[in-house]
Amino acid sequence: MKAAIIAGGLARRLRPITEEIPKALVEVAGKPIIEWQIEWLKKYGVDTIVILSGYRREKLIDRLGSGKKYGISIVYTVEDTPLGTAGALKNAEKVLQGEPFLVVNGDIITDINISELMKPLNEGNVFLMSIALVPLRSPYGIVVLDDNGVVKEFREKPMLHQHLINAGVYAMKPEIFPYIPEKGDLEKTTFPDLASQGRIVGVVYRESYWRSIDTTKDIDEATKELLRGH
């Protein structure tokens, strides 16, 4: 099985850390994000990873090489100018033909069950892609009141299970490529188009670990969680 990792962004919010390295090489709990991803993907049978690279791509190549040391094969596609998430994926069209594949944002750490995400694409239905959904984590602590307005409880950044967010992990059929433009973002082009046609199915993961690494605070919090065994 193949997986594409979107790893070409400039990662401005993580500067100065990302002035010399791409975001995918930012270390969390002593290991680069992309190595967490490689271990997770390999566990579910991924044997070929396509790195959609751009910014500081030479650093990724130096670190990951051919993938042999991880027991997988790594292929690189390169965007000389920023193409957006859609353009980056379109750039890898020839490499990803043949069977359903995975697409992963290069700034997340998760343990979701990929097998569950692939199932909807193996049943001969109209879906061109499935999208992993996770509960929204509140950015703030919340206060719980009783019916009389008395404070009963303080909850530190709880998961808001009634709200689901895009986890940045997708399973796609190769037939999706005609819907992907050569430049632009998947979230603004392909996804709305397919959603209007009823061709995307969501798979909800309420108990899985998931973290997006966007700020230094995210690095600190994810490091503590991972070292605690999440």
Decide if pLDDT at 160 tops 80.
Answer: no
Assign 141 a pLDDT band (cuts: 50, 70, 90): confident
Cα Rg of the chain, angstroms: 18
CA angle at 218 for the pair 5 and 44, rounded to the nearest 5°:
35
Q: How confident is the model at residue 13 (pLDDT cuts 50, 70, 90)?
A: confident
Catalytic residue selected from 157, 188, 217, 224: 157
Assign a CATH topology to domain 2-133+163-222: Spore Coat Polysaccharide Biosynthesis Protein SpsA; Chain A (3.90.550)
**Average pLDDT score over residue span 75-85:** 89
pLDDT over 70 (residue 230): no
Residue 91 confidence (pLDDT) above 70: yes
Checking if the pLDDT of 49 tops 70, the result is yes
Average of pLDDT values for 111-117?
95
- Is 157 an active-site residue? yes
Identify the pLDDT of residue 14: 83
pLDDT tops 70 at residue 128: yes
**pLDDT greater than 90 at residue 15:** no
pLDDT above 80 for 89: yes
Q: Is the pTM of this model over 0.85?
A: yes
Instruction: Decide if pLDDT at 219 tops 90.
Output: yes
- pLDDT score for 137: 82
pLDDT value of residue 136: 86
**172: pLDDT strictly greater than 90:** yes
What integer pLDDT is reported at residue 151 of this predicted model? 86
List all residues 6 or more positions away from 190 whose beta carbon is below 8 Å from its beta carbon. 86, 176, 179, 180, 181
